[in-house]
Structure 1
C-alpha cells in the first residue's frame, strides 16, 4: 500500500510515520513545506517539499499522488495567530488543493485530520456522536476553518461516491516529542516552562466549561492505520479517558483549583494576545469552553481501536517534554532549538508571540 502523508513532520505526522515503519507492506511518502533531515522517523523514505497554500501547488501534488492508494492530509497551521490570511491560505485553500489533487490523481482513499473543533457548542457532561452539528464555534478561526473544510469533504463525497473519504476527529493530541512545539504554539516564550519539570502547578483555573479530551499521538497514529486498512467511511471521534477537568488536573499536578469565570478567561487571553505576550487569542478559550465531549464508540466498534495510554498520562508526557525542551531535531516543526517565532531566540530578535511563520 502506497500512502502519501501531507504534513508529515508535525505532531500527528511524526507519530504516524513511526507506526507505519512497523508495517512492511506500507510505503510512506512524506510531504512538508520544509523537508526533514534523513534520520530518525523520517529516514529512508521519499520526501517532497510542497507548500500546499501556494496557488501553483496543484500540479506537483497531483504528480506525487499519481499511483497512490491513499492520501492522509494532516497539514494545518495553528500559528501565526495574528495573520488570519496566512492561516486561511494554508488550512482552507491548502486543504482544498490537496483534495483536488487527490481527485485528479484518481486516489482511492482520502483521509483528513479533522478535530473536535468542527463541532457546534455542546454538552460538557454528556458525549456527542459523529452526527452532532458541525458548524464549529464561531469565535474560533480554528473551529471555523475545520467546519469549512469538512463541508468541502461533504461535497466531494456527494460528487464522487467511489472515493473513500474518512475524517478523524481527535481531541488534544499529546506526546513528549511535541512538548516544545505545543509550548511554542499555545504558551509562547515567556512561560517559565523549566519550572514544570517538577510536575507541580500550584494554581489552576477552574471553570465548569473547562472539560477537555486528549489522546496520545501514538494512539491517533494507530487509528489512522486502522482506517487505512479497514473498508470504512465517514467520521470517527478519537479520544482517551478520563476527561481533563479542573479536579483531574489539580490531582495530576498537585495544585489548587481557583474558580475563574469564563469572561475573565476570555478577557485575559484577548488582552495578552493583543499585547503580543502570548500566542493564543480569545477564540481558543471560547473553543475550550464550548467544544462538546465526544463519544468514541464508533472507533471502538468499527475499527477495533482502543487507546493504550490514558489522557492524564499523555498530558504528563507532553508537560515533561515541554519542561525538558523535547522535540525531534530532524523536523522543523518539532525542533526544540533555533530562533523561530514562539521561541526565546525569536523573541530576542523581535519575533513576538503569534507573529511570524513558525513552520
Structure 2
C-alpha cells in the first residue's frame, strides 16, 4: 500500500465539534474537516488566538469554552453528528511544576463529562484521542497492536497514566450508554500548526536554533499530525464502537529526526549522539538550567523517560491502514512543512519566543 496520502479519504460528518481545536492535532482536524465540507464548531479557550491560528472559513464557528466545564459547551453539542476530542493536558513532558489535579481533571474526568453531555445532546459518535504510550508491550520481534493490553497506570508518567484511565472510562461508558466511541492512538506527533508548542515543536525550535548539543542515541515512532487527523475523521465516519486504531507512523532514530530539522530549517546543527545512560542526567541538567534562567526546558526527565521508552517500543498501524485508509507522509515532508509553518507564523529561531501553553486546547 502506498504511503502517499490519498485524496479519496472519506468525507467527514456533516457537523462536528472539535475540542482542543488550536492544538497541533486539533488544528489539523479542523483543516481536514473543512476540506471535506463539514460544518465545524471549534471549542477554544481564547477566541482571539483561535482567530489568528485557525482558517477564516464560512464553515467554521468558534465557541469559547473549556473542556473541564461542560456548561460552556453543552449548547454547542446540539445538532452535532460527531465530536472529535483532542484536548489534553501534557505540561508534564516539557515543564516542571505541572498541575496534577488539572491533568487528571482534563485527561480523565473531563472525558466522562464530555461523553455524558454527548449522550444527553443526542450526539451519536465521539472520537477519543489516546496514545500509543498506553500500550504495555511491543518490540521489534512482536510489534504492539490494538489487542496488546495496556500497561498499569503507574505514577512515574502521569500523562500516560491519565490516558490509560481515560480508555477505561471510554470502554465502560460506551458499553452502558450505547455511544459509539472509536479511539485513535497516535505516536509522537510532528507537523505544521504546532503553536503550543508540544514537545516535538520545542525540540524542532531548539535544534533549528542550534541550542541542543547532544541527544541520546534513541528513537521513537513519529507521525504527522495531519495523518492522525485523517484517522480521526475516518474514525468518526466508520470507526467501530470501542475499537482502537493505532496511528504510529514510522520509527526513526532521534539523530535522523534532528538531521531532517536542520535540512528543513536551514539553520542549526545536528546534535551529537550520546549514550542513552546519560539521557536522564542531561534532562535534569536541562531542567536546572532552564529554571536558573526562568525559562521552560527543552525536555523534562518525564519527557526524556517517555522518549527512552519509545526507543524499544514498536507498534503496528495495520488496522488503521486497513479499516480507516490511513497512509503516512515521509518524515522529510512533515518536517519541511513544519519549518514552513514556523517561518510563516514567525515562530522560527530568531523570531521571538513561542507563546506558552499548558494544554492542547
**TM category, shorter:** 0.7 to 0.9
State the distance in 2 between where 1:9 and 1:358 align. 7
* Change in 2 beyond 3 A, CA 1:274/1:171: same
Give the structure 2 partner of residue 306 of structure 1.
327
Q: How does 1:102-181 map to 2 (within 5 A)?
A: 102-124=118-140, 126-135=142-151, 138=154, 139-160=156-177, 162-178=178-194, 181=197
Q: Among residues 208, 215, 231, which one is paired with 1:205 in the alignment?
A: 215
TM-score, normalised relative to structure 1 = 0.77
Q: Among residues 224, 227, 246, which one is paired with 1:219 in the alignment?
A: 227
**Aligned-residue RMSD, C-alpha:** 3.3
Give the structure 1 partner of residue 43 of structure 2.
31
**1:30-66 superposed Cα distances (whole Å, 9 cap, x missing partner):** 101112227852533221111122xxx2233322212
* Change in 2 beyond 3 A, CA 1:340/1:315: closer
Give the structure 2 partner of residue 41 of structure 1.
55
Give the structure 1 partner of residue 8 of structure 2.
none
**1:290-349 superposed Cα distances (whole Å, 9 cap, x missing partner):** 242210000111112212x11343235435655x48479xxxxxxx8678447xxxxxxx
Q: How does 1:1-359 map to 2 (within 5 A)?
A: 1-24=14-37, 26-35=38-47, 36-37=50-51, 41-44=55-58, 45-53=60-68, 57-79=69-91, 81-84=96-99, 85-124=101-140, 126-135=142-151, 138=154, 139-160=156-177, 162-178=178-194, 181-182=197-198, 186-187=202-203, 191=206, 193-195=208-210, 204-207=214-217, 210-233=218-241, 234-241=243-250, 243-246=251-254, 248-249=256-257, 252=260, 255=270, 258-262=273-277, 264-273=278-287, 276=291, 278=297, 280-291=299-310, 292-307=313-328, 309-318=329-338, 321=341, 324=343, 326=345, 340-341=355-356
Say whether the 8 Å CA contact 1:136–1:143 is kept in structure 2. no
SS at match of 2:128: strand
How many residues matched? 322
**1:56-78 superposed Cα distances (whole Å, 9 cap, x missing partner):** x2233322212221111111122
TM-score, normalised relative to structure 2 = 0.77
* Change in 2 beyond 3 A, CA 1:128/1:59: same
State the distance in 2 between where 1:39 and 1:273 align. 29
State the distance in 1 between where 2:219 and 2:200 align. 23
Say whether the 8 Å CA contact 1:179–1:320 is kept in structure 2. no
**1:146-191 superposed Cα distances (whole Å, 9 cap, x missing partner):** 111111111112212x3111111111222133277236974599x4
* Change in 2 beyond 3 A, CA 1:249/1:67: closer
State the distance in 1 between where 2:259 and 2:359 align. 36
**1:113-154 superposed Cα distances (whole Å, 9 cap, x missing partner):** 111122225425642101112126732121111111111111
State the distance in 2 between where 1:122 and 1:66 align. 41
Unaligned 5+ residue runs, structure 1? 329-335, 343-355
* Change in 2 beyond 3 A, CA 1:52/1:246: closer
Unaligned 5+ residue runs, structure 2? 1-13, 263-268
Say whether the 8 Å CA contact 2:257–2:331 is kept in structure 1. no
State the distance in 2 between where 1:192 and 1:39 align. 24
Give the structure 2 partner of residue 350 of structure 1.
none
* Change in 2 beyond 3 A, CA 1:130/1:110: same
Say whether the 8 Å CA contact 1:33–1:50 is kept in structure 2. yes
